[in-house]
């Protein structure tokens, strides 16, 4: 029985060590050329290889990342379970990044960075956290983990998801009917939605116009969810105050793209959260054990919903 690890050699070495210790009966291969395709039951990869059909006994396809939009779901063999990455390292890094982003937007760091360039020493009036309403677009694993860390700051917190949820300390909205109400009470919008056909382009001009004047955007989902032209217009018109983008479309943005130098925009190169080899290896091992015991897999993707 084989596990094919289709990613970088450094992480492969970590996985090899953890597998040797925890699942000695599963052989780990780092190269598809060295493995008998019939033996491959598990495959971990960022995108599916074109020749995935040759792994006729493949049972579980593990995504190297938390997102799975990079897989063409319709071309994956039907019997294969697709599993997104759920591991402590990704969660911790996202908690750090979202707290950093929300506090930066709350405390006007984008504006202060611009002032520094002009050698301007000018304090801006800042509302208290209790007066700055933060809203999460998506209330899944990562949003819930980030919310846990934000709670002590006392921002009024809300979230919008597809299905109904109840979370202590969070006003929960769901579905298309409740979207307008959610947006109307959101001063800092944190996008942590997965990219699906429903969420592609969701951050558009109409949506921005429903946010209160002076709202701010923290985008950590996926680039194609954002209409970048609409964002530029909303920033230039003064309706939106600032945006912090960890994801763009394309990545990176082309040289000279207006977002690169926009005074109200801060960009990071898709580093909010990165899969950590040690904790990821342990979580994959645990999931393989679950799979063998006939239990439900953590992070199993609903192929119809796309996340």
Site for ligand OXD in 248-287 (CB under 6 A): 273-275
Task: Establish whether 291 is a catalytic residue.
Answer: no
Binding pattern to ligand OXD, positions 71-90, x when CB under 6 A? Answer: --------------x----x
Using the rule CB under 6 A, give the single segment among 4-12, 60-68, 126-134, 290-298 that binds ligand OXD: 60-68
Nearer to ligand NDP, 29 or 307 (CB): 307
Tokens standing for residue 211: 């946010």
Is 87 in a helix, a strand, or coil? coil
Contacts of 145 (CB under 8 A, 6+ apart): 91, 94, 95
Min dist CB 168 to ligand NDP, Å, is: 16
Are 278 and 12 in contact by the 8 Å Cβ rule? The answer is no
Are 132 and 189 in contact by the 8 Å Cβ rule? The answer is no
Q: Among residues 37, 65, 201, 258, which is the contact residue for ligand OXD, using CB under 6 A?
A: 65
Q: Among residues 37, 67, 181, 223, which is the contact residue for ligand OXD, using CB under 6 A?
A: 67
Are 158 and 139 in contact by the 8 Å Cβ rule? The answer is no
Nearer to ligand OXD, 95 or 275 (CB): 275
Query: Binding of ligand OXD at residue 181 (CB under 6 A)?
Result: no
Nearer to ligand OXD, 43 or 66 (CB): 66
Nearest-CA neighbor of 196 among 73, 35, 43?
A: 73
Query: Binding of ligand OXD at residue 190 (CB under 6 A)?
Result: no
Query: Binding of ligand OXD at residue 66 (CB under 6 A)?
Result: yes
Using the rule CB under 6 A, give the single segment among 34-42, 59-67, 231-239, 289-297 that binds ligand OXD: 59-67
- HEC profile for 226-241? ECHHHHHHHHHCCCEE
- Assign residue 208 a region (left: φ > 0; alpha: ψ between -120 and 50; beta: otherwise): alpha
Min dist CB 109 to ligand NDP, Å, is: 19
The catalytic residue among 149, 270, 290, 303 is 270
Q: Where are the beta strands (DSSP E) in the chain?
A: 2-6, 27-29, 40-45, 60-63, 81-83, 134-137, 157-161, 170-174, 188-191, 215-219, 240-245, 265-267
- Which listed option, ligand NDP, ligand OXD, none, makes contact with residue 215 (CB within 5 to 8 Å by class)? none
Report the catalytic residues. 222, 270
């Amino acid at each position: 029985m084989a596990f094919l690890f289709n990613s970088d050699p450094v992480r492969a070495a970590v996985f090899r060590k953890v597998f040797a210790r925890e699942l000695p009966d599963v052989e780990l291969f780092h190269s598809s050329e060295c493995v008998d395709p019939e033996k491959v039951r598990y495959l971990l990869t960022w995108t599916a290889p074109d020749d995935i059909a040759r792994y006729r006994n493949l049972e579980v396809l593990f995504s190297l990342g938390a997102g799975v939009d990079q897989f063409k779901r319709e071309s994956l063999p039907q019997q294969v379970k697709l599993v997104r990455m759920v591991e402590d390292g990704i969660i911790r890094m996202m908690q750090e990044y979202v707290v950093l982003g929300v506090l930066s937007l709350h405390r006007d760091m984008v504006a202060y960075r611009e002032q520094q360039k002009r050698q301007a020493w000018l304090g801006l009036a800042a509302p208290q956290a209790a007066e700055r309403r933060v809203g999460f677009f998506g209330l899944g694993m990562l949003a819930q983990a980030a919310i846990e860390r934000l709670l002590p700051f006392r921002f009024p917190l809300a979230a919008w998801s597809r299905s109904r949820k109840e979370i202590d300390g969070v006003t929960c909205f769901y579905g298309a009917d409740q979207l307008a109400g959610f947006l109307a009470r959101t001063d800092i919008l944190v996008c942590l939605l997965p990219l699906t056909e429903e969420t592609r382009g969701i951050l558009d001009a109409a949506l921005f116009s429903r946010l209160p004047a002076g709202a701010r955007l923290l985008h950590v989902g996926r680039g194609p969810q954002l209409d970048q032209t609409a964002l530029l217009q909303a920033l230039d018109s003064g309706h939106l105050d600032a945006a912090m983008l960890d994801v763009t479309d394309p990545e990176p943005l082309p040289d000279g793209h207006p977002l690169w130098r926009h005074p109200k925009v801060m960009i990071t190169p898709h580093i909010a959260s990165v899969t950590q080899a040690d904790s990821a290896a342990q979580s994959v091992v645990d999931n393989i054990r679950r799979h063998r015991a006939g239990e439900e897999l953590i992070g199993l993707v609903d192929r119809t919903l796309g996340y």
